[in-house]
């Protein structure tokens, strides 16, 4: 048990895979080691999305509870764990954010309607492999985006805002929002190695 | 231009905005989502593109500098997590001896469970052979289906309104048709009577004050009686015109009540038992008519 483990950035997918398999077998110790490897990222992501520390802690607990419950199913997909955990963290955090916001302007769609994944999203976890170099490249690409584009990406990713909400929040025409978001994501996607 | 796989390159362009929005769950236009679902189902290129976009956005989260959670969170998290039942996706996984038997508490399923990409009940005990991908695909198909339901419900609402309008129009046309059929049938009967070889006519002469009325009767023992009238004087409320066949011998036989139109015209067709009719007469009777004449005829005419 490494005390500083929670803040260590580690994309060793083989280690993750072994741990997930053990978690699927019911090993609480393996879950603890996954926690040590990924809780720092989950917590950072949660804090960025839901600033209140108690909400962020709830997100961490939610995420690892789901890892525990679904480990067997996930293990069978042999997909990288880091991406899965980050996706869970974002989804859970945005759920909480939306619940807190309790916005009256959700346009008739429930809070879940906009965060539900599309058919193809995550349909092939094998292809969600994210290399450490990719993470670094995307981070740099994000920083290099024109400010209006970066703002949209961050509001969408960290605040869970939809097209319409982005237009309202930034006072930008909807068509411009769509185009800018698309350009921004094309740039980030271009930064991936494959 | 269409590619060998049947996909239209123009379609990729058309879906680019929606695809990008999807990668950050920002697509809030239900119609656009539904259209994209349909396209993705048949376009491997756009599916691959969406996956790449997802990887890029997930990298944003992974790129944050890790932040150490409060030290006590670890124990709380592990305690809460391992207190739950685990789902079992594979026979192999189920066969392994757990290092720690998890407490079997009732599954606590937050409403957004499916948003994390998994939707099977966590408490499922029997090893399920359903691969994760199939489960995910099924869950997402359900999402697509629910979007379609909303869109279709809207369309159904519009069509229902249209159908209501159409129905009322049909009802009114049907009413007109029924009227026309009735008139047509009546005309056919009139024609049958008037054109019958045994037809006999009677011009009803005014008896008393109702001299302006022009009334003519046609009687065919085989086809029936027709009476056409114009300028019949209006009667007081509670009084009606009743038509009588007057046989050569015996008492008059009622041939029915005349329905007089507001313009004073009346057309009456009736079938009667064969008889040796000598004349036709009209009396004014109380509403509903009488079994026999209760007053002197206001008009009478002999058959030729």
- Confidence tier at A45 by pLDDT (50, 70, 90): very high
Which residues of chain A are within 8 Å of residue B53 when distances are taken between CB atoms?
A: 185, 188-189
State how far the Cα of B167 lies from the Cα of A140, in Å rounded to an integer: 64
Q: Grade residue A148 by pLDDT with cuts at 50, 70 and 90.
A: very high
Q: What is the pLDDT of residue B75?
A: 95
Chain A, 152 to 191: residues with Cβ < 8 Å from chain B are 153, 156-157, 160-166, 178-179, 181-182, 184-186, 188-189, 191
Sign of the dihedral through C-alpha A49, A50, A51, A53: negative
Tell whether the model's pLDDT for residue A175 goes beyond 80.
yes
Check A153 against B50: CB less than 8 A apart: no
Q: Which of B80, B116, B141 to mutate to test the interface with A (most CBs of A within 10 A)?
A: B116
Percent of chain A, pLDDT > 70? Answer: 77
* Dist CA A6 CA A32 (whole Å): 10
Q: Distance from B145 to chain A by nearest Cα, in Å?
A: 11
CB contacts of B104 in chain A (<8 Å) are none
Residues 6+ apart with CB under 8 A from A138: A188, A191, A192, B56, B59, B60, B63
Q: With 90 as the cut, is the pLDDT of residue A121 above it? A: no
Q: Quick check: A68 pLDDT over 60?
A: yes
- CB within 8 Å: A182 and B54: no
Our CA-based measurement puts residue B102 at a distance from the nearest CA of chain A, in whole angstroms, of 7
Contact B56 A185 (CB under 8 A): yes
Query: Cβ(B76)–Cβ(A56) under 8 Å?
Result: no
Is the Cα torsion angle A45, A47, A50, A56 positive or negative in sign?
A: positive
pLDDT band at A11 (very low <50, low <70, confident <90, very high): low
**What is the nearest CA distance from A79 to chain B, expressed in angstroms?**
11
CB of A20 within 8 Å of any CB in chain B? no
* Distance to chain A for B160, nearest Cα, Å: 22
Paired tokens of B194:
């008037």
**B78/A35 Cβ within 8 A:** yes
The predicted structure's pLDDT at residue A78: 59
Weakest-pLDDT range from A2-16, A84-98, A111-125, B182-196: A111-125
Phi, psi of B281 (to 5 degrees): -140, 155
Cα separation of B4 and B1, whole Å?
A: 10
CB pairs under 8 A between A and B: 330
Q: 42-61 in A: which are within 8 Å (CB) of B?
A: 43-45, 47-48, 53, 56-57, 60-61
The C-alpha atoms of residue B81 and residue A85 are separated, in whole angstroms, by 14
Contact A119 B144 (CB under 8 A): yes
Q: What is the pLDDT of residue A109?
A: 38
DSSP codes, B170-200: HHHHHHHHHHHHHHHHHHHHHHHHHT-TT-E
Pairing between β-strand B299-302 and β-strand B214-220 as defined by DSSP bridges: unpaired
Per-residue pLDDT, B8: 57
Can you give the pLDDT of all 304 residues of chain B as single tens digits? 444 444 455 667 788 999 999 999 999 888 888 888 878 888 888 988 998 999 899 999 998 999 999 999 999 999 999 998 888 764 443 333 333 333 333 333 343 433 343 333 333 344 455 667 777 777 778 778 777 777 777 777 777 777 777 787 888 888 888 888 888 888 888 888 888 888 888 888 765 544 566 888 998 888 888 988 888 888 888 899 999 998 887 888 899 998 888 888 888 888 888 788 888 889 999 988 888 888 888 888 888 8
Phi, psi of A28, rounded to the nearest 5 degrees = -70, -30
- Residue A4 pLDDT > 80, yes or no? no
Q: Are B116 and A83 in contact (CB under 8 A)?
A: no
Buried b (16+ CB within 10 A) or exposed e, B103-119: eeeeeeeeebbbbbbbb
pLDDT value, residue B20: 94
pLDDT higher at A53 or A111 = A53
Whether residues B98 and A48 touch (CB distance < 8 A) is answered with: no
């Amino acid at each position: 048990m490494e005390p500083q483990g929670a803040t260590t950035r580690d994309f060793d997918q083989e280690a993750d895979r072994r741990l997930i398999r053990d978690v699927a077998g019911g090993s609480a110790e393996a879950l603890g080691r996954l926690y040590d490897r990924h809780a720092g990222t989950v917590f950072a992501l949660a804090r960025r999305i839901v600033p209140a520390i108690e909400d962020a802690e709830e997100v961490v607990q939610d995420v690892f509870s789901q890892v525990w419950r679904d480990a067997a199913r996930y293990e069978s997909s042999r997909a990288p764990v880091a991406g899965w955990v980050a996706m869970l963290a974002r989804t859970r955090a945005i759920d909480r954010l939306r619940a807190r916001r309790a916005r009256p302007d959700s346009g008739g769609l429930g809070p879940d309607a906009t965060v539900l994944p599309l058919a193809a999203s995550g349909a092939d976890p094998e292809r969600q492999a994210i290399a450490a170099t990719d993470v670094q490249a995307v981070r740099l690409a994000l920083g290099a985006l024109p400010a209006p584009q970066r703002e949209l990406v961050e509001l969408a990713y960290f605040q869970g805002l939809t097209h319409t909400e982005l237009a309202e929040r930034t006072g930008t025409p909807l068509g411009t929002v769509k185009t800018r978001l698309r350009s921004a994501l094309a740039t980030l996607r271009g930064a991936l190695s494959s | 231009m269409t590619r060998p796989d049947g996909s239209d390159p123009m379609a990729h362009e058309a879906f680019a905005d929606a695809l990008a929005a999807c990668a950050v769950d920002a697509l809030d236009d239900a119609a656009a989502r539904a259209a994209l679902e349909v396209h993705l189902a048949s376009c491997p290129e756009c599916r691959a593109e969406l996956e790449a976009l997802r990887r890029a956005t997930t990298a944003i989260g992974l790129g944050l500098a890790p932040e150490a959670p409060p030290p006590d969170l670890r124990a709380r998290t592990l305690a809460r997590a391992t207190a739950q039942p685990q789902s079992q996706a594979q026979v192999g996984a189920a066969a392994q001896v757990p290092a720690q038997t998890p407490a079997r508490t009732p599954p606590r399923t937050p409403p957004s469970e499916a948003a994390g990409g998994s939707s099977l009940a966590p408490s499922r005990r029997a090893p399920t052979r359903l691969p994760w991908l199939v489960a995910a695909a099924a869950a997402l198909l359900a999402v697509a289906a629910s979007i379609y339901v909303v869109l279709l419900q809207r369309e159904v609402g519009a069509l229902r309104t249209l159908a209501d309008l159409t129905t009322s129009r049909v009802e009114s046309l049907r009413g007109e048709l029924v009227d026309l059929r009735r008139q047509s049938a009546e005309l056919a009967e009139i024609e049958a009577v008037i054109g019958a070889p045994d037809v006999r006519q009677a011009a009803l002469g005014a008896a008393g004050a109702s001299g302006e009325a022009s009334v003519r009767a046609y009687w065919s023992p085989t086809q029936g009686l027709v009476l056409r009238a114009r300028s019949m004087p209006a009667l007081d409320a509670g009084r009606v015109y009743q038509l009588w066949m007057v046989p050569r011998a015996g008492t008059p036989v009622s041939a029915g009540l005349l329905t007089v139109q507001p313009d004073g015209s009346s057309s009456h067709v009736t079938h009667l038992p064969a008889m040796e009719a000598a004349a036709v007469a009209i009396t004014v009777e109380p509403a509903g008519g009488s079994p026999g004449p209760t007053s002197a005829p206001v008009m009478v005419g002999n058959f030729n």
